[in-house]
Amino acid sequence: MSAFPQLGVEPIQNSSVKLPVIGWVKFWQSRHIPDGGIVKQARVVRRASGWYVMLTVQWDVSVPSTIPHGNPLGIDVGLTNFIATSNGLLVKRPRFFIDAERQRKHCCNSALVGSV
């Protein structure tokens, strides 16, 4: 794996990427680079299926802030109780194995009692 942290200005042209020291390398672009995006870094990786170029792209995106609504709730997963919430709700832990074992014993015992 080789990393190229500084690619320069417009490193991608006509399905080729300009890598420092190596020069222009043809590649198949699987995704479109967004408008206003700046290619900051390239990483060349060899996998069993071939060689790949991973590009790191930077662009300005406005992320909307979330508006808090409702009542906040804290949830804790524990050992004695499966779930404990901040409003006092306690959910017992599921006992799948113990319940299945109890059913198995009940089935086996009833089968033995009927066969005598």
Task: Report pTM.
Answer: 0.48
In a domain, 64, yes or no: no
CA angle 111, 96, 110 (to 5 degrees): 10
Same domain, 9 and 52: yes
Number of domains making up the chain: 2
Q: In percent, how much of the chain has pLDDT > 90?
A: 3
Cα 109 to Cα 91: distance, rounded to the nearest angstrom: 32
Nearest-10 Cα torsion for 25, 30, 31, 36 = 10
Q: Can you give the pLDDT at residue 28? A: 87
86: domain range?
A: 75-115
Q: Which two tokens stand for residue 45?
A: 């990786």
